[in-house]
Amino acid sequence: MALFLNGCAGSYSAQGVQYSGKNKKKYTQLPIRVHEEKLVKLLETVSSLFGIKYLYGGDTVGGFDCSGFVQYIYRKTFGADLPRTSVELSEYGRKIPSGNFRRGDLVFFRLNGGSIDHVGIYLDRNLFAHASSSRGITMGNLDNSYYKKRFAKAVRLLEIIDPRDEQTGRVMHGNEPKD
């Protein structure tokens, strides 16, 4: 089953409208350091939005496009300010190799060929949440042939802090390669 998910915010939309470059806002410094329980909050926030309609340029519970959805989740869950478009978001984090994805990572796609034009939030077991132009806020699966063929990259914005080692600043790395 092929799902066609266009209209997400790249630097240019599928409709050919360019987002304003006037916003020179300072974004949250990376990595965004969080406790593991915040990842549970991320799941709760995402699940509370399932079914909300797609709205081009939307970034509120009245409707979301893909990057507006990501911005909303990161603002609400982590208090973070992120770039507005999927292209800008794709250049904002640290690239993660396939197979090493962790909850909260951003996954990017080229749905219409060419440049990155869609983003979602990795949840677990190859599932990701995103704003579909036909279904609103929903889940997709990276193993689905549609997404597999259009997958571009993933980036990590989060660094998980072990609460036992908060005084020392130690960070939990899990199975990811250390920088």
Task: Report d(CA 16, CA 3) in Å as an integer.
Answer: 21
CB 176 within 8 A of CB 100: yes
Secondary structure percentages of the chain, helix, strand, coil, to 5: 20, 25, 50
E-state strands within 4-72: 32-35, 59-60, 63-64
Residues assigned a catalytic role: 66, 118, 130
Rg (CA), the chain: 16
Task: Report d(CA 40, CA 77) in Å as an integer.
Answer: 10
